[in-house]
Structure 1
Amino acid sequence: MASILRGIRRAAPRLSLPQDFFVCQQCISQARPAVRHVKLPIKPSVSQASPIRFSSSAAGISPNAGATLKAASPLGSLSKTISEKSTELEGRAREASGNKFFPDTSSSSVAYWLLASAGSVFGIVVFGGLTRLTESGLSITEWRPVTGSLPPLSTSDWDSEFEKYRASPESKLLNAHMTLEEFKKIYWMEWGHRLWGRFVGLSFVLPAIYFVSRRRVSANMSLRLLGISGLIGFQGFLGWYMVKSGLKDDLFAPGSHPRVSQYRLTAHLGAAFVCYVAMLWNGLSILRTNSLLSHPARGHAQLQHLSSSTLSIFRKSVAGLAILVFATAMSGGLVAGLDAGMIYNEFPRMGTGLAPPKSEIWSSFYSRREDGSDLWWRNMLENPSLVQLDHRILATTTFTAILSLWAYSRFNPRVRAALPNTCRKGMLGVVHLVFMQVALGISTLIYLVPLPLAAMHQAGSLALLTGVLVLGNRAWIPKRTWKLVQKRIKVVADAGLGGSRHVMGGRGKGLKADVISLRAEMKRHGPPTS
């Protein structure tokens, strides 16, 4: 029993400092020279031969000695380096942004919202074509942007709307025997079209305000969003301005069919196309910019490759195709406004030849001035025979131009070798779309403009324009994006971090390699000491 008590008293000084067991041998060896001359008090009960364990508190070392030992180790040095890099990167990001309200680039969520808005405009264009084909556009004779959102809810409301329509020229000349139930069908078509237009406006303006206030839109893009918002409002005004032209007798020629003005119809259609193009192009541009900036070195190489003189003709030709497709679609608006598709329902001939007789396509009947100075342009825009011929010529020219550009990119060895794979696929997609559009156009003409084919033909024109815009976005060289890419590369080179992701928003991804090194160092040297 006495021997057991002597063993406990001998081990008591060691158990009084349990933190000593968590000190590694490397730290003991590094700290041993600093405490060689420290005289430790030894109790008389402890044998001189007993080993003495090092204790920082017993040695009189300051409480910060653990931090000093950690910094002196290779593990502490690596941790300090990573911390310094993180601080430097955050400082560079703040310096690059300059604490401005608008960021340098727009968020990808803005791009997806723009593309969704473009899809909504695509749908309303097709639905508007159906409204025109069913002759429902003149069923609502008033323009009430706010109160018109609600349809007639009672029998008296329906009777009131029906009486207003019966006072219009279309009802008197064409639909004098229309019943209330028949009126409801065309009323719902026009009401749905107008309601969709209100939805397009609200679903664009409200999110635009949100994105700008949340600083997710660049300064340049915020101005574009403002312009598109104004264009949507102007489009609504054009819609009513178009409908109004079909409610007045003085705008019709004697004996003519009551219809809206083909000029206003084409302007309404053109504004919708421009709105769609603006949404689609800006959405694609944001996605492309963010993709190039995610890997600045690779993005710079891609832009430099596209800027070669070998692809100069191809890029300019794609821009010309976009203008040509748009002009062809607008000529189709004139055809629809004049019902010119109801004559010469054959292809490729028009009567006895490829074109109608000269006396028919160039008639003084359409001139309104005594000197005949307006003869040429009124025949081109108001003569149904010449309007259809113009549309055929433009469509044939567009078809030939697309096939020619495809052949140029396919069979020219230099262009084929230099053309990126994305542009090659985009060009092939445009070829497929133009074949489909030509087939729809000819079928619509031959079968006397049936409702499904006519709607598909109008949708095909917008689809073809979409394909050309996607191709143009892939071949386009955005100068502002190129400058941002060069700026990012310069920041990376100055930082000397060996990767472009260090200057991006995902700083954690850029530090992945350092974290892996840190873990490997921890495995070799053990966890940091406290």
Structure 2
Amino acid sequence: MTISTFPPSVAVAEKMADPTRRSVRIWLGMVAALIVLMVIVGGATRLTGSGLSITEWRPVTGMLLPLTETSWLAEFEKYRATPQYQLLNHGMTLGEFQFIYLWEWGHRQLGRLIGFIYLLPLLWFAYRGVVRGRFLATLLAIGLLGGAQGGIGWIMVASGLEPGMTAVAPIKLMLHLVAACGLFVAVVWIAVGLRDRHARIAVPARLRITGSIAVAAILVQIALGALVAGLNAGMSFNTWPLMAERLIPDSFTLLQVSPWWRNLVESTALVQFNHRVGAYLLLALVVWHAIDAARAAPGSKTVRMARVLAGLVLAQAAIGIMTLLLFAPLWAALLHQAMAVLLLGHAVAHRRMMSPARVFPVQPASA
């Protein structure tokens, strides 16, 4: 005879809600996958120098692609008034402009697509009563943040259209990427939280603490990586493990700007050095976390997830070193960026699965 640990009514409700919960989880998983794709396309847009090709923010009419030669020439004329064209791309042909324009246009369309794929199922789930109350309010808040991400993206682009600028401001590039990763974290956290709670085991609080620190450290590394990308710092000091022929470069190399605090976001040397040190510290943290998990919960899924996390960080470090040594070719830089987001997703899933219960319930769909 099977003995349920829950009252019969609760057990029946849990069973009834399972297919619906799975639908919500699949929907959120699709959104998370599209955010990963968005980050990759955004990276390609930056690396191809395409991000400043569309000089206006038109949330509605911007969906339309120029279809006639006249409309293409009008867009090209706007771009030729930008500092990037005048200082870097003077003499660019219309065909070359169309190439970079299509990259940026595609990036913006993908953002709109994510918005529709997030909003329409959410409205349907809300209408059917599947999500309600605090859960619905949380999902709506995430949707609003996603909409705000478009505005953050335009603030970033506008910084590159200012006089004397040939690229977007690195700190605004960092803000745009970190905001996207924040949305990714929220979606993954909720999606994983909708998995079967009975499959979880209790773990010591210290594992949850180090798991949370790992997620935060990965976000910091992504932010530092955005600064490296924004300053093209990966094209300098292309040796490893030495940097400027030393393990720790001298202050003259690292502190190139005055006052000193501006070096944190403007010195190519210090930004790259901080990114290197952050990688070393992150690797040490996740290796220690995996060892501690093996001691605290031997044979559990927590241990396997912790070991995979350590392996992914090690692989990401190797990709980063390769990207640096090869002077950041497009394929390697995109691989490094994509791996960073996938690593973040695994770290969030690992941390969420160490939590004792779901935060948000899902109701069976009403007839």
Give yes or no for TM over 0.5: yes
- 2:43 touches 2:334 (CA, 8 Å); kept in 1? yes
Note the aligned Cα RMSD (angstroms).
Answer: 2.3
Counterpart pick for 2:202 among 279, 302, 306: 306
- 2:234 touches 2:324 (CA, 8 Å); kept in 1? yes
Fraction of identical pairs, as percent: 36
Distance 2:70 2:42 in 1: 28
Q: TM-score, normalising length from structure 2?
A: 0.91
Counterpart pick for 2:57 among 143, 146, 149: 143
Residues 159-238 of structure 1 correspond to what in structure 2 (within 5 A)? 159-238=73-152
Higher RCO, 1 or 2 (CA under 8 Å, sep at least 6)? 2
- 1:106 touches 1:286 (CA, 8 Å); kept in 2? no
Distance 1:226 1:106 in 2: 19
Counterpart pick for 1:457 among 329, 336, 348: 336
Aligned position for 1:383: 267
**In the alignment, does 2:362 pair up with 1:469?**
no
Aligned position for 2:169: 261
Offset of 1:385 from its aligned partner? 0.7
- 2:44 touches 2:330 (CA, 8 Å); kept in 1? yes
Residues 228-377 of structure 1 correspond to what in structure 2 (within 5 A)? 228-249=142-163, 252=165, 258-287=166-195, 291-292=196-197, 299=198, 305-306=201-202, 311-363=204-256, 366-367=257-258, 375-377=259-261
Amino acid of the structure 2 residue aligned with 1:358 = S
Offset of 1:357 from its aligned partner? 2.4
Aligned position for 1:409: 293
**In the alignment, does 2:319 pair up with 1:440?**
yes
- 2:224 touches 2:271 (CA, 8 Å); kept in 1? yes
Q: TM-score, normalising length from structure 1?
A: 0.63
- 2:254 touches 2:267 (CA, 8 Å); kept in 1? yes
Residues 33-52 of structure 1 correspond to what in structure 2 (within 5 A)? none
Look at both structures and tell me which one has the larger radius of gyration over its CA atoms: 1
- 1:281 touches 1:473 (CA, 8 Å); kept in 2? yes
- 1:106 touches 1:221 (CA, 8 Å); kept in 2? no
**In the alignment, does 2:281 pair up with 1:397?**
yes
Distance 1:403 1:432 in 2: 9
Q: 1:345 to 1:108 in 2, by over 3 A?
A: same
Amino acid of the structure 2 residue aligned with 1:306 = A
- 1:347 touches 1:446 (CA, 8 Å); kept in 2? yes
Larger mean Cα displacement after TM superposition, 396-405 or 326-335: 396-405
- 1:111 touches 1:284 (CA, 8 Å); kept in 2? yes
Amino acid of the structure 1 residue aligned with 2:264 = M
Offset of 1:312 from its aligned partner? 2.1
Unaligned runs of 5+ in 2: 1-6
- 2:54 touches 2:75 (CA, 8 Å); kept in 1? yes
Amino acid of the structure 1 residue aligned with 2:42 = G
Spell out, residue by residue over 1:396-415, the C-alpha distance to the aligned partner (whole angstroms, 9 max, x if none). Answer: 111111112222233x3xx1
Report SS of the residue matched to 2:180: helix
Larger mean Cα displacement after TM superposition, 118-127 or 462-471: 462-471
Spell out, residue by residue over 1:29-83, the C-alpha distance to the aligned partner (whole angstroms, 9 max, x if none). Answer: xxxxxxxxxxxxxxxxxxxxxxxxxxxxxxxxxxxxxxxxxxxxxxxxxxxxxxx
Distance 2:40 2:178 in 1: 13
Offset of 1:469 from its aligned partner? 1.3
Offset of 1:480 from its aligned partner? 4.9
Spell out, residue by residue over 1:144-165, the C-alpha distance to the aligned partner (whole angstroms, 9 max, x if none). Answer: 1111101110000111011110
Offset of 1:478 from its aligned partner? 3.1
Spell out, residue by residue over 1:432-484, the C-alpha distance to the aligned partner (whole angstroms, 9 max, x if none). Answer: 21121011100100000000000000011111111111211221223757xx8
Offset of 1:377 from its aligned partner? 2.2
